[in-house]
Structure 1
Amino acid sequence: MIEPHNWGRWGADDERGTLNLLTPEVVLAAMGSVRQGRVVSLALPIRGSTSSPARLGVPHLPGRPLPQHFMSVDGADYAAGVRPIGPGVCVCDDALVVSPHGTTTHLDALCHMWTGDKLYNGHDAARVRSYGATRCGIDKAGGIVTRGVFLDVAAALGVPHLDGGFRIGADLLDGADIRPGDAVVIRTGWPLVHASDPGRYQHPQPGLSYEAGLWLAERDVALVAMDNAAIAALDDHGRCTEPLEEDLHLLFLWRHGIHLLEMLWLEELATLGATEFLFMLAPLTVEGGTASPVNPLAVL
């Protein structure tokens, strides 16, 4: 049985975990990270699979349903969605169906993974039902504004991207200026592989080691964000191979109440030389959702 941590730290009813560290004082201090006034998106684009090149054009894990984007209110063609509202004036509607896990930039809720019969903080896992999670859903996260710390591991090792299956050790993070409440953003460069070889992207991926996960959790980070698909390294079948007691989703989400932000696009940020910035994120208030598609922002 994995021993839980942070349970009860913010009270028996807590559903936000280390996001509770984002006090007004922490948010105000994070504002001091802004130097240029430049805003950089850290999100991959959402391209619906109804567009013919989308299947090959967006990094995603195999077997996951790709976003469906319809340029119409009824799922038909574009023209059917255009409604005249006056002489020479039209309005067009569209619809989007998206399952965030494994298909787009997203924030995992604390109800996304658990073991035994308890969610984070001891909430009953039976509260996760077909209509959603009534405890620890993504709607409990709220807006997130804090200091962001950028750790470009691939650049530090002198490579465009880490190799598939590579595990980032705590030694590669040691020395970083990490403070309680920080959003730690880690670059592996793995999305670059998809551009040159989509098939290779869906095979072993690099990720954090368990020791690196412990290192971050011990520093009271608010969330961990990466450009790979699962924070941890994945094998040929898209699975983590660590034993249950070293599973990073359980370590972060279940034991420590640390939200996870996955499938980022960090290539623009990597060219700008910033190591800290103001991090901003507003997950959708999907009641009982296990995740939300997001567009995280770095304000430099």
Structure 2
Amino acid sequence: MLDESNNWGRWGAADERGALNLLTPETVLAAAGSIREGRVLGLSLPIRGATSSPAPTTVPHLRGRPLPQHFMSVDGGDYAAGTRAIGAGLKMADDALVVTPHGTTTHMDALCHMWSGEELYNGHPAGRVRSYGAGRCGIDKAGPVVARGVFFDVPRIRGVERLEAADRIEPADLEACALDVRPGDAAVVRTGWPLAWRDGPDAYWAGQPGLSADAGRWLAERDVCLVASDNAAIGGLNARQLADEGLADDLHMILLWRHGIHLAEMLWLEELAESGRTDFLFVAAPLRIEGGTASPITPLAVL
């Protein structure tokens, strides 16, 4: 499968950051030129979690994935052991949060998230991915992302509120957005699929629209550093929440594995769509989870 275009070896045999290497100081400075209003939009879904409430079911997520769990204690509970030492009359609340990023919240995939055979991106040994963390290509190797964002609002181009579950975004859709895509850009693709949650979980779980394999290749050819979308897998999903494409056409294989292009999934892009902006400064910083396959993020669009 590596007969196809790929970035293995492009930034050296030891590289674990992939296309994020395109974010040179010069590229970042140029991206800052996209700021024209000074307005900042958050592009993440909320994290709602509890041990005994329906809160998590009010946020889009993939069926069957462990939902976020949020525990709080006030004034001396399990997570506030030091409360009594902080002084008379003072109160304190502490939090504990358990999140499995994939499929449950806005997150960024690491290059160790998916692979084929015995090698991760760039030929690193897949045997280094263990239950205690990935020895190569973990999310901690990514670092912060500060790039020019280019916004592909595909529902607007097609004249619909949101795409349907069976829809796949083709290169012609991306070309119709008429954007000047530059090396090091972060491609942000809207499907509108989170709006399906308003019709209930079953509507959201009926499948998902997403990029076709050829659209993924189209973006990779333009040297983007990251692909982000408001769906759960960048590519489309069927009603079993699986990809229908074979291994050669799987979007994670094309982007993550072959080209080292990080993926950000489950964004909230409705306010960005309302802004009418197609370029902006995109900012996202994954947590430095050593050996992690992903991290929750709060992407920002600085308009």
Could you tell me the TM-score, scaled by structure 1's length? 0.95
Residues of 1 paired with 2:130 and 2:265: CA distance?
24
Residues of 2 paired with 1:112 and 1:293: CA distance?
14
What residue number does 1:94 align with? 95
AA in 2 matched with 1:151: F
What is the CA-CA distance between 1:195 and the residue it aligns to? 2.2
What is the CA-CA distance between 1:63 and the residue it aligns to? 1.2
1:77-226 matches, cutoff 5 A: 83-84=83-84, 85-174=86-175, 175-226=178-229
- 1:23-64 per-residue CA deviation (whole Å, 9 max, x = no partner) reads 000000001000111111000000014251223211000111
What residue number does 1:257 align with? 260
- 1:221-261 per-residue CA deviation (whole Å, 9 max, x = no partner) reads 00000000000110010000011110000000000000000
Residues of 2 paired with 1:82 and 1:9: CA distance?
50
What residue number does 1:299 align with? 302
Q: Does 1:29 align with 2:30?
A: yes
Aligned pair count reads: 299
Residues of 2 paired with 1:208 and 1:261: CA distance?
13
Residues of 1 paired with 2:201 and 2:100: CA distance?
20
What residue number does 1:288 align with? 291
Q: Does 1:234 align with 2:237?
A: yes
What is the CA-CA distance between 1:77 and the residue it aligns to? 9.1
The 8 Å contact of residues 82 and 91 in structure 1, kept in 2 or not, is answered as no
- 1:126-151 per-residue CA deviation (whole Å, 9 max, x = no partner) reads 01011100100000000110100111
What residue number does 2:249 align with? 246
Long gaps (5+) in structure 2: none
- 1:83-131 per-residue CA deviation (whole Å, 9 max, x = no partner) reads 4533432011110010000000000000000001000000000010111
Distance 1:180 1:51, change over 3 A: farther
The 8 Å contact of residues 284 and 293 in structure 1, kept in 2 or not, is answered as yes
Root-mean-square deviation over aligned CA pairs? 1.9
Residues of 1 paired with 2:50 and 2:238: CA distance?
25
AA in 2 matched with 1:184: A
The 8 Å contact of residues 44 and 297 in structure 2, kept in 1 or not, is answered as yes
Residues of 2 paired with 1:110 and 1:73: CA distance?
39
Q: Does 1:58 align with 2:53?
A: no
What residue number does 1:3 align with? 3
Distance 1:81 1:104, change over 3 A: farther
Structure 1 runs of 4+ aligned residues shifted over 2 Å read 1-4, 80-88
Residues of 2 paired with 1:182 and 1:81: CA distance?
46
Q: What SS class does the counterpart of residue 192 from structure 1 fall into?
A: helix
AA in 2 matched with 1:126: G
> After alignment, is 172-181 or 120-129 more displaced?
172-181
Q: What SS class does the counterpart of residue 219 from structure 2 fall into?
A: helix
What is the CA-CA distance between 1:82 and the residue it aligns to? 9.8
Distance 1:156 1:77, change over 3 A: farther
The 8 Å contact of residues 44 and 104 in structure 1, kept in 2 or not, is answered as yes
Could you tell me the TM-score, scaled by structure 2's length? 0.94
